[in-house]
Amino acid sequence: MALDQIVDGLSEVSCDVLVIGGGTAGPMAALKAKLKNPKANVVLLEKANVKRSGAISMGMDGLNNAVIPGYATPEQYTKEITIANDGIVDQKAVYKYAQNCYSIIEELDSFGIRFLKNENGDYAVKKVHHIGTYVLPMPNGETVKKALYRQLRRARILISNRYMATRLVKSGDGRIAGAISVNTRTAEMLVIKAKAVILCMGAAGRLGLPTSGYMFGTYENAANSGDGYAMAYHAGAALANLECFQINPLIKDYNGPACAYVAGPFGAYTANNEGSRFIECDYWSGQMMLEFYNELLSGKGPVFLQLKHLHPDTISEIESTLHKVERPTRGLFQQGRGVDYRSESIEMHISEIGFCSGHSASGVFVDDNARTTVPGLYAAGDMASVPHNYMLGAFTNGSVAGIDAMEFADNHDFAEFDAADVAMERERVMAPTKREDGIPPNQIEYKTRRLVNDYLQPPKVTRKYELGMRRLAEAREDMQERMIARNAHELLRALEVQSIMDCADMAAHASLYREESRWGLYHWRTDFPEKDNENWFCHTLLSKQDGRMTSEKRAVEPYVVPIADDEKDLYDKQRIRASA
């Protein structure tokens, strides 16, 4: 049989709660939904394989936002994230996270995932943020996925690997009715009816093109092509603050974290070519990234992560984490270049752009119960709008989503959807397989992402954006009319390109809508260089209305934790002052 031969087929199944995405938030959501109602059917659908999918495929080196009694309070954390995100935060969801995350840590501990403890048996939390102390190392962080998988098997969650969800279906009155998916190895389609659906599909990490030119050399797991953002958009859900891009300081060319959160607490720091510090705090904020960007362009670049001043034993300890967990090929990469942290600093660079609430604030809008604006549709993890929520946020908010979604499913019957919607989606999905001649998905993807770099990367210039949108529209026409997929694997990539294109359009639209600069580098508009609290101290919500991309303002909910006036700009003072 030819490689990944296409099989034409369509079948239908049903379940009570459908969780899409088996990375971090998804397994926790599925688990909590099933534990809430053990008689219900919970399906976990995954484009890859739940065993090794998502951002934490090879584990994680630590918790970046652990609110642990004795070290930090929910109030303090909520305040820190509010300031780090320039005030545009619905604090209720952040505060709820901060209150719940400690119990999730204890639960993860009971799964066999170990966290660093001191000689007294207390969690050994480290300081990386500007104000508070929230970073908790995970000495056996490489075991996370295996530990989660054991729990899923024990709870008898129904796992469907290698199915890529492509669109959601809804009833006439707008309630969620299920999802349409396609097998990534046979192209057979599967409709899954569900009473509630939870989207846990990760960041839009394949949006910008890495400077190496290798399309899959992204910061995020390259499987995270923004499918969740695109699906939510086409289902009519609102997406929040998409102009607040994710941009990270990464090991140049390797494009993974160095990682300041691991090495910082041991005394490593970010330095310029003169060996001097230039930022106050290594926590990833837009304001910090702006200083990083300025330093690179100032003639004082390259920028480095400096470790060589540390004791060799300390460096070995940092090395053992960096080269074992999260991105273990970091060691191989440095070895290939002959870089020894004991004698040489790590050259850093700026990543391509993406959407990700895990690090910034661009996500599908959710409230403090992980509900989107579509009844019965939930979102959690990197793709949901709770800002700066990292891995622990994915677990904690995934848990919230799972419990609330099962409650919704218990109180609702299946919603009816129009069979014509399925027929139309089948036609869209299969279209690239029906053409004899055309452009392969990799070329359309390369061009789209190259345009994202050329026109959408900050600094955001209105004229460039207008040109970029025209070029993207031309690429979209090629994608819709001429793209070909000769086997099921190419079809997977062809479908991903369509998500990437939708995300590029959303990035452009959202960025032009907010006529101010905010979040440092993430939304630096040269035509509107100042922060404008009078007109833009608000969320922006992007959605599809009558088939068109539309943006509107949404007021920031009144704060639960008040922020004093002299605290509001703490994250604006990132550059180290030259004199006292």
Partner 1 sequence: MPLASYQTSVPVVVDDTKCIADKGCTVCVDVCPLDVLRISDMTNKAYMAYDECWYCMPCEADCPTGAVTVNIPYLLR
Q: Does 57 bind partner 1 (CB under 8 A)?
A: yes
In the complex, the smallest distance separating the C-beta of residue 493 from partner 1, rounded to whole angstroms, is: 8
Angstrom distance (rounded) from CA 200 to CA 149: 16
Q: Does 117 contact partner 1 by CB under 8 A?
A: no
Is position 351 an interface residue for partner 1 (rule: CB under 8 A)? no
How far from chain centre, in Å, is Cα 200?
10
Q: Which residue is it, tokens 């790590």?
A: 346
Assign 348 to helix, strand or coil: strand
The only residue of 266, 269, 333, 414 in contact with partner 1, by rule CB under 8 A:
333
Stretch that binds partner 1, among 50-58, 89-97, 385-393, 394-402 (CB under 8 A): 50-58
**Bond preceding residue 302 cis, omega within 30 of 0:** yes
Q: Is 141 in the site for partner 1 (CB under 8 A)?
A: no
Compute the distance between CA of residue 195 and CA of residue 315 in angstroms, rounded to an integer. 52
Least distance CB 37 / partner 1 (angstroms): 30
- 556: its two tokens: 């920031």
CA–CA dist 276, 283 (Å, integer): 18
Residues with Cβ < 8 Å from 577, sequence gap 6 or more? none
CA 230 vs CA 46, 190, 272, 440, 520: distances in Å: 16, 19, 39, 21, 26
The distance of closest approach from Cβ of residue 374 to partner 1 in the complex, given in angstroms and rounded to an integer, is 28
Residues 211-270 that bind partner 1 (CB under 8 A): 212-218, 221-223, 253-255
Strand partners, 198: 19, 378
From candidates 155, 158, 431, 439, binder to partner 1 by CB under 8 A:
439
Q: How far is CA 378 from the centre of its chain?
A: 15
Q: How near is the Cβ of 58 to partner 1 at its closest, in Å?
A: 5
Give the range of 239-247, 375-383, 432-440, 560-568 binding partner 1 by CB under 8 A.
Answer: 432-440
* Stretch touching partner 1 by CB under 8 A, among 34-42, 72-80, 88-96, 208-216: 208-216
The token duo for 509 is 């639209």
Select from 37, 52, 92, 531 the one that contacts partner 1 (CB under 8 A).
Answer: 52
Least distance between partner 1 and beta carbon 223 (Å): 5
Is 473 a residue that touches partner 1 (CB under 8 A)?
no
Binder of partner 1 out of 13, 35, 40, 51 (CB under 8 A): 51
Q: Residues 274, 437, 530, 534: which binds partner 1 (CB under 8 A)?
A: 437
432 binds partner 1 per the rule CB under 8 A: no
Amino acid at 246: Q
Choose one: 54-62, 133-141, 190-198, 541-549; the region binding partner 1 (CB under 8 A). Answer: 54-62
Q: Which amino acid is at 546?
A: D
Residues in the interface with partner 1 (CB under 8 A) total 43
- Residue 117 or 252: the one with the smaller Cβ distance to partner 1 is 252
- Is residue 202 at the binding interface for partner 1, with CB under 8 A as the rule? no
- CA–CA dist 195, 41 (Å, integer): 10
Q: Does 53 bind partner 1 (CB under 8 A)?
A: yes
- Residue 409's Cβ-side half-sphere holds a number of Cα atoms within 13 Å equal to 31
How do beta strands 346-350 and 303-306 pair?
antiparallel
CA pair distance 123, 530, nearest whole angstrom: 42
Interface segment toward partner 1; rule CB under 8 A; list 74-82, 231-239, 241-249, 489-497: 489-497
| Minimum gap (Å) between residue 147 Cβ and partner 1 | 15
Binding positions for partner 1, 396-425, rule CB under 8 A? none
Number of CB atoms found within 10 A of residue 107's CB: 17
Length of the chain: 580
Site string for partner 1, 174-193 (x = CB under 8 A): ----------xx--------
Candidates 354, 370, 572, 382; CA nearest to 453 is 354
| Contact between 489 and partner 1 per CB under 8 A | yes
Task: Read off the tokens for 282.
Answer: 């290594």
- SS3 call for 43: strand
Query: Binding of partner 1 at residue 327 (CB under 8 A)?
Result: yes
Structure tokens at 469: 């949108």
| C-beta of 36 vs 486, nearer to partner 1 | 486
- Candidates 9-17, 82-90, 401-409, 486-494 — which segment interacts with partner 1 by CB under 8 A? 486-494
440-469 residues near partner 1, rule: CB under 8 A: 440
Nearest distance in Å: CB 101, partner 1: 26
Nearer to partner 1, 302 or 375 (CB): 302
Nearest to 354 by CA among 476, 522, 479, 468: 522
Q: Are 237 and 543 in contact (CB under 8 A)?
A: yes
Q: How many CA atoms lie less than 13 Å away from 490 in the CB half-sphere? A: 20
Chain residues that interact with partner 1, rule: CB under 8 A? 1, 3-4, 48-49, 51-54, 57-58, 161-162, 184-185, 210, 212-218, 221-223, 253-255, 327-329, 332-333, 336-337, 437-440, 489, 492-493
